[in-house]
Amino acid sequence: MLVVPWPDAPLFPGIDIDTSIALLAHFDIDALVRVRFWNHLGDQYTSATLTRRIAFMLSPAFSDYEAFVHELQLTSSVVGGQAALHVFHPSEPAPRVIAIYTPHRTFFHVLGYLVHQEDFELRITACEASPIADEPPPLEVTLTKGRYSFLLVPGAKESPTPLHPLVSMWNSALCAYFGPNSFCDAYTGLNEHSRGLIHPSRLALHGQLPADLGALIRTWTARGWALSNTPSAWVGATPCRGAVSIGCAAAVRFFGDAHCTSGVLLPLGETLPRSVGVDLLQEYSVVWWRGGRTCGGGCHYGETSITGGKRLCLRSVLITT
């Protein structure tokens, strides 16, 4: 998230640097990662584009942006949800309230930092409608400073990562994050076609569509999104591949798997200036399967519905191919 300078050479032959920068401003995360693998220059342009998008959104809220990035690094916290979707797919709007996800045990460290170092005003309210589907926090912690607002979301108890809440967002497009030097867009293949999967636990509430969810769906649909509770409902849907698919109820997913677009923010080989010993985001991932209505007869042994789940897992035992 620390700002990477623009290279001093044009990216595209015959096109000047300013025009290269203007073109990249429209690239989504999948296109930027492809540019990264062209060559060293492409890698630098990708890092500069992503880190500047993030800083443009976040840095005006902080008196010391570099120190804020270090606080996220110290606590293995990330920015996720709509803010990440905006960075990865710049045609999507930036959120009015930016969500920070922090491991459960460092929640108050981040809270104290924002209040005492950055002079944010703390507001704690009863949470009626959470962006998280099946684990609504009993209280919603919002921090405001002027026109800037942040939602601080704790991770699952006893988990060293902040990532559990992200897999239960009401809409799969929001299952995305960036940290001090890593990022992950878990449903890029759907997001680039403006398709989102509604989390089944939200649909099951009271046996009918909750009012707040209906309003969210209408807002997203007006922006051109197609939302569904199963990928088989979309026109032109390919046959279900079950556990290895991107969005089937039975798909076994994890942050960093082959369906994700993920990587580091700094140019390859560069590291953050201040080391914190261990990066818990690199040590642990979360494995999940959405659950809910299956794709039909050929999916998951003919079951019509399955129960979702999520588990903490060491990245070193996960296969990414």
Point out which residues pair with 97 in neighbouring strands.
149
User: Residue numbers of the site for Zn ion (CB under 5 A)?
Assistant: 240, 248, 295, 299
Determine the distance from the C-alpha atom of residue 163 to the mean position of all C-alpha atoms in its chain, rounded to a whole number: 9
d(CA 186, CA 286): 11
- Residue 294 CB, shortest distance to Zn ion, in Å, is 5
Point out which residues pair with 123 in neighbouring strands.
142
Question: Pairing between strand 261-263 and 305-306?
Answer: unpaired
Of the pair 53, 293, the CB lying nearest Zn ion is at: 293
- Residue 96 CB, shortest distance to Zn ion, in Å, is 35
Of the pair 79, 248, the CB lying nearest Zn ion is at: 248
d(CA 142, CA 151): 5
- Residue 251 CB, shortest distance to Zn ion, in Å, is 7
Of the pair 79, 299, the CB lying nearest Zn ion is at: 299
Contact predicate 173/143, CB 8 Å: no
Contact predicate 3/52, CB 8 Å: yes
- Residue 190 CB, shortest distance to Zn ion, in Å, is 14
- Residue 250 CB, shortest distance to Zn ion, in Å, is 6
Determine the distance from the C-alpha atom of residue 305 to the mean position of all C-alpha atoms in its chain, rounded to a whole number: 26
- Residue 146 CB, shortest distance to Zn ion, in Å, is 47
Q: Give the phi and the psi of residue 74 in degrees, each rounded to 5.
A: -60, -35
Of the pair 280, 295, the CB lying nearest Zn ion is at: 295
Contact predicate 104/154, CB 8 Å: yes
- Residue 206 CB, shortest distance to Zn ion, in Å, is 26
Of the pair 11, 248, the CB lying nearest Zn ion is at: 248
Q: Give the phi and the psi of residue 82 in degrees, each rounded to 5.
A: -60, -35
Of the pair 146, 296, the CB lying nearest Zn ion is at: 296
Radius of gyration (C-alpha) of the chain in whole angstroms: 20
Of the pair 54, 299, the CB lying nearest Zn ion is at: 299
Counting Cα atoms < 13 Å in the Cβ hemisphere of 280 gives 20
